[in-house]
């Protein structure tokens, strides 16, 4: 992998995060987990953990793993960016649904209520400095009929997404109100991310 000193390394498998970085003109290359790494294990919720503490802990764990990966692959010491998004209904953390039944349970729980979407961002930069930010947004989904939920699950969109939905997809027809960062709900709050990257002296 050839890395320009004008680029950053994005340690994320999310195509939405790539798209959002491209939107604001940040040059980047992917730094994905290797075959022996268990990236999903980092996302396990600890007993009694609050959504805020959870998303920030997971983000830092992902950053530590990514920095170690960069060193192992002998890549240039350019900034590394990671992010993690979770959905919280009260104190309940809604991660990525394991199957259709779990996706249906999550969507039923979210409908008719306002929930929080928390995205933590962290950047490792020169001198072993770590910069971090937390974006908290609120989303209200109006009621969905069972047939609406069935159709949404059949589309495949709920899978691989915290809370069983992606706001940029078909669920948008049921989003009654948004307060906060739309890009943060997608998975990378651009205002906070740009602020961190400027602090890390990244040009874009």
Catalytic residue annotation: 84
Token pair for residue 5? Answer: 């000193």
Q: Are 135 and 192 in contact (CB under 8 A)?
A: yes
Six-digit token string for 70? 């960069």
Do 3 and 31 form a contact (C-beta atoms < 8 A)? no
Q: Produce one character per residue of 29-51: b if its CB has 16 or more CB atoms within 10 Å, e if not.
A: eebebeeeeebeebbeeeeeeeb
Q: Please give the helix or strand (H or E) that residue 192 lies within, else none.
A: helix 190-199
């Amino acid at each position: 992998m050839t890395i320009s000193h004008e680029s950053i390394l994005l340690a994320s498998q999310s195509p939405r995060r790539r798209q959002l970085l491209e939107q604001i003109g940040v040059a980047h290359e992917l730094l994905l987990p290797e075959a022996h790494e268990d990236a999903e294990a980092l996302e396990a919720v600890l007993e009694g953990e609050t959504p805020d503490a959870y998303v920030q802990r997971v983000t830092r764990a992902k950053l530590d793993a990514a920095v170690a990966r960069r060193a192992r692959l002998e890549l240039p010491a350019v900034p590394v960016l990671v992010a993690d998004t979770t959905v919280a209904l009260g104190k309940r953390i809604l991660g990525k649904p394991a199957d259709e039944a779990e996706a249906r349970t999550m969507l039923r729980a979210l409908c008719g209520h306002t929930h929080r979407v928390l995205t933590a961002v962290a950047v490792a930069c020169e001198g072993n400095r770590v910069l971090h930010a937390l974006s908290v947004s609120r989303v209200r989904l109006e009621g969905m009929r069972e047939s609406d939920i069935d159709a949404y699950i059949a589309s495949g969109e709920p899978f691989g997404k915290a809370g069983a939905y992606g706001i940029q997809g078909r669920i948008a027809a049921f989003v009654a109100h948004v307060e906060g960062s739309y890009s943060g709900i997608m998975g990378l709050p651009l205002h906070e991310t740009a602020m961190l990257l400027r602090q890390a002296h990244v040009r874009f």
